[in-house]
Structure 1
Amino acid sequence: MKALAAYVRIVDRFNRRIGRFAMYLIFAMMGVLLWSSISKFAGSPALWTLEMAQFIMVGYYILGGPYSMQLGDHVRMDLLYSGWSHRRKSAVDAITVLFLIFYLFILLYGGVSSTTYALEFGERAHSVWRPYMWPVKLVATTGILLMLMQALAELFRDVLYLRGINVDHPHEAGL
């Protein structure tokens, strides 16, 4: 049980740092889009800006996901859930997170396969700019792995709570 609690704390701390970094990617995307507007106004639009903004958005969204899950800010059907006791919530969450873990394993398998293909064959986007695809695929695959690690941490947190061991979320513990 101590190993599970340590895993939860380590993954929470790591995903919190990554998530806090990912929050600032919105400013990088705003800078790229601002440059796009300025270059269009100047009469020579940059061809790379739209795709680069999309790539940054992938990082923002996918790397911020585990942190969002950690904070409980993800979408949840709250029709009955909010009225349940903490113990019942943990029991239901421990079951439902198994579906997410299964889904994330399948996504991770596809992500690794797609990233490997992009690296081996030098895959490029079908656009005028033609950027290599492996960087964005690597970021997406890394984000899926981090989400899987966080889902496992949530499962372990619920199991520990049901066994009488409370492992606080980082935002509750002041980390």
Structure 2
Amino acid sequence: MRGVIGTYVRVTDALSDYVGYLAASLIFVMGAVLMFDAFTRNVIQMPVHWAIELTQFTLAAYYFMGGAFTLKNNEHVRMDLFYSNLSDKGKARMDLLTIGCLIFYLGVLLSGAIASLEYAIATNEKRFSIWNPSVIPIKALMVACLVLMLMQAVALVFKHIATLRGGPAR
């Protein structure tokens, strides 16, 4: 692939990699917060009320941020009844069909996420708990990550079309 489409695919792949590796590092953040919580609760008998909730938000960010990376590296769950027996062009055709469904699904999800973010901003939505954190940052991250997943899905469409045309997928 050359030109604008090739550049789009390379930039989207690089962005998906960067965000995916950043997401992987969140495991260490979650571990540190949970160890801190265990220490304060069990050793010094002063429980912190925000630790579990912060870990839940971090886990949500981990899932959101890992979506495009997983899609790019073809590591998502696939029902493989006959897919592995297809030729490369047959796989590309099948993937184009399923990516069409994925793009529709992500579009609907993005529409709902944007509406949810707008509501959160308009009402200054907070999670009802002792810590009472704002949900705006996690909802904004969800919208950004859905946009990145849509971008990655479109990049995959270009890659599969290149495969069908007999060219390299990258």
TM bracket (short chain) = over 0.9
Following superposition, the deviation at residue 96 of structure 1 comes to 1.0
Other-structure match for 2:169? 167
Is 1:49 the counterpart of 2:51? The answer is yes
Gaps of 5+ in 1: 169-175
Asked if structure 1 preserves the Cα contact closer than 8 Å seen for 2:57 and 2:138, the reply is yes
Letter in 1 for 2:39: I
Letter in 2 for 1:116: E
| Distance in 1 of aligned mates of 2:11 and 2:81 | 32
Letter in 2 for 1:39: T
Q: Per the alignment, in what secondary structure is the counterpart of residue 63 of structure 1?
A: helix
Letter in 1 for 2:126: R
Following superposition, the deviation at residue 82 of structure 1 comes to 1.0
- Matched residues, number: 168
Other-structure match for 2:97? 95
Other-structure match for 1:171? none
2:131 to 116, 125, 129: 129
Following superposition, the deviation at residue 141 of structure 1 comes to 1.3
Cα RMSD (Å) = 1.2
Letter in 2 for 1:144: L
Q: Deviations over 1:12-71 (max 9, x none)?
A: 111111111111011001111111111111211111011100111111111011101111
Q: Deviations over 1:47-101 (max 9, x none)?
A: 1011100111111111011101111111011121111111100011011100000
Asked if structure 2 preserves the Cα contact closer than 8 Å seen for 1:19 and 1:64, the reply is yes
Asked if structure 2 preserves the Cα contact closer than 8 Å seen for 1:19 and 1:66, the reply is yes
Q: Deviations over 1:135-174 (max 9, x none)?
A: 1111111111111111111111111211222133xxxxxx
1:63 to 55, 59, 65: 65
| Distance in 2 of aligned mates of 1:109 and 1:27 | 32
Asked if structure 2 preserves the Cα contact closer than 8 Å seen for 1:68 and 1:74, the reply is yes
Following superposition, the deviation at residue 110 of structure 1 comes to 0.9
Other-structure match for 2:76? 74
Following superposition, the deviation at residue 3 of structure 1 comes to 2.6
Letter in 2 for 1:115: L
Is 1:9 the counterpart of 2:10? The answer is yes
| Distance in 2 of aligned mates of 1:37 and 1:135 | 26
Is 1:31 the counterpart of 2:28? The answer is no
Asked if structure 2 preserves the Cα contact closer than 8 Å seen for 1:87 and 1:162, the reply is yes
Gaps of 5+ in 2: none
| Distance in 2 of aligned mates of 1:69 and 1:123 | 31
Asked if structure 2 preserves the Cα contact closer than 8 Å seen for 1:5 and 1:167, the reply is no
